[in-house]
Amino acid sequence: MKFSYEIVIVLGLAACSNPTKEAPAGTYYDLKSYIEQQISQLQKQQPTVVKQSGFGNDKEQQTTKTIDWSRELDLFLQADINKQAYQSSYQKNRPDSLTYEYSLKPGENLPVKQLRVELDSATRQPRLVKATLRTRNSLYESERNVWLESDKGTIKHYHIEGFQQLAWLDAKRFLIDGEVTQFSEKTLIWKK
């Protein structure tokens, strides 16, 4: 009887605690783990990527195998909302069993405004990730729209675009678009 009484007290105290401080980890889709796994995999495989980048009116395209994937996919890590401080800041929507949608609640001021993750029905890995990140203060404003597509759990296309603006200057648009076209023969997963 004493054991059951202690459980009731513990459960009662847990129910009275502040949910924003003690919300369990894993409330939202774990995008960070997926992106970190992709970074590790892409660093090892060094696939060929057709990459287009631009800042302002300057644009260039190149085909390369030398990409710092940690830097290249950093904004996708920043789009992860599965953080203790964010646990009660987003509205959740599950239009179907394979889709996670999150939007920032009114009155909240966090950089990730929206996040959508669509899973592949066979692999249960993300096949599409889309996010909008926005930062605004008296000196600086930026918006970044990011998305990536995967095939069998491996990134095949990623896209980052947006603008950044200092208060006294015009907005500068930027773009990064990468298409993974070929993996090396040793670690062949797929070829376009």
What pTM, to 2 d.p., does this model score?
0.78
- Asked if residue 4 is part of any domain, the answer here is no
Q: How many domains does the chain have?
A: 1
- Asked if residue 19 is part of any domain, the answer here is no
- Asked if residue 10 is part of any domain, the answer here is no
- Asked if residue 3 is part of any domain, the answer here is no
- Asked if residue 164 is part of any domain, the answer here is yes
DSSP single-letter state for residue 137: -
What is the C-alpha to C-alpha distance for residues 139 and 163, in angstroms, rounded to an integer? 14
- Asked if residue 130 is part of any domain, the answer here is yes
For the stretch 122-161, pLDDT in tens is 999 999 999 999 998 889 899 999 999 999 889 999 999 9
- Asked if residue 20 is part of any domain, the answer here is no
Could you tell me the pLDDT band of residue 14, with boundaries at 50, 70 and 90? very low
- Structural domain of 134: 27-187
Is the predicted pLDDT of residue 120 greater than 70, yes or no?
yes
- Asked if residue 53 is part of any domain, the answer here is yes
With contact defined as beta carbons under 8 Å apart, do 105 and 28 qualify?
no
Is the predicted pLDDT of residue 162 greater than 90, yes or no?
yes
